[in-house]
Amino acid sequence: MVRQLQKKVRRKRISAVFITLTTLLIVLIAVIVLFMNFRLENVIVEGTTRYTEEEIKNRLITEKTDQITLFYYLRQHFSDPVSIPFVEKVDVSMENRNTIHVTVYEKLVVGCVEMMGGYLYFDKDGIVVESTKERLEDIPQVTGLKFDKIVLHEKLEIQKEGLFETILNVTKLIKKFELPIDAMRFNSDYELILTSDGIEVLLGRKDFYDEQLGALKNVLEAAGDKKLSIDMKNYSKNNKKIISKPLN
């Protein structure tokens, strides 16, 4: 009786070992098949302007299993999204068994304000979307605003609500006309003043600045390296008069 029990136990152990080894072998074969057939060879990145394709890849592909296309695709869809400054979201799709397609959706940033040695970047609605120690050169710094409070991911509370719309419109025009603007400032009368490499441009208080900014590139090129204060408050299609004087 004892021997029979021992034989049964031995058979069960052998069976358990066999099942375990078989399972491991199946898993190993599956991994080899996946690696051979779903090896990540191409990563197509589009939609990024602030980062290079290589920088996006380095931020997204961080695990050893990411070298298998299917594993990487599943990880991106079922794990917490990767946080990348100035990026709203990233969509990942699998084009084929060896290719991943990454679409980057960047945050629309229209300006920044300086606060305690850093810079807070806000969108068209005045929501603070990022905070960095570094100043991004292509984002105008806005001064002359008064804040009740500044909280990341919340709206800036300023003295005049319509200023955000003005900032957005001016930022679009700056990009449209490829103007080298460093900063924009509002004085106590909410008149707009732009700064470009030591040149101060007075634009006044208007609903639209299209005509002034449309002419500004030629004005700045004509000024060259001179440090000037350029008054374009009254500039219009019918009034081309511009007043310039040395900047004190």
At residue 8, the pLDDT reads 60
Q: What is the pLDDT of residue 10?
A: 64
Segment of 68-72, 195-199, 243-247 carrying the highest mean pLDDT: 195-199
Task: State the pLDDT confidence band at 32, using cuts at 50, 70 and 90.
Answer: low
Higher pLDDT among residues 15 and 188, named by residue: 188
Q: What is residue 7's predicted lDDT score, i.e. its pLDDT?
A: 59
Under DSSP, is residue 74 helix (H, G, I), strand (E, B) or coil?
helix
Task: Render pLDDT for 43-67 as a digit per residue (tens, 0 to 9).
Answer: 999 999 989 999 999 999 988 888 8
| Common-topology check for domains 38-106 and 111-246 | no
pLDDT surpassing 60 at residue 27? yes
For 52, counting Cβ atoms within 10 Å of its Cβ (0-12 exposed, 13-18 middle, 19+ buried), the class is exposed
Residue 149 and residue 157 in contact, taking contact as beta carbons nearer than 8 Å: yes
CATH of domain 111-246: 3.40.50
- What pTM does this model have? 0.69
Higher pLDDT: 219 or 28? It is 219
Bridge partners of 126?
Answer: none
Q: Domain 38-106 is of which CATH architecture? A: Roll (3.10)
Per-residue pLDDT band for 25 (boundaries 50, 70, 90) equals low
Structural domain spans, the chain? 38-106, 111-246
Q: Mean pLDDT of all residues in the chain?
A: 85
Dump strand ranges (E) for 23-159. 42-46, 87-96, 99-106, 111-115, 118-122, 128-132, 141-143
Does the structure show a pLDDT above 80 at 248?
Answer: no
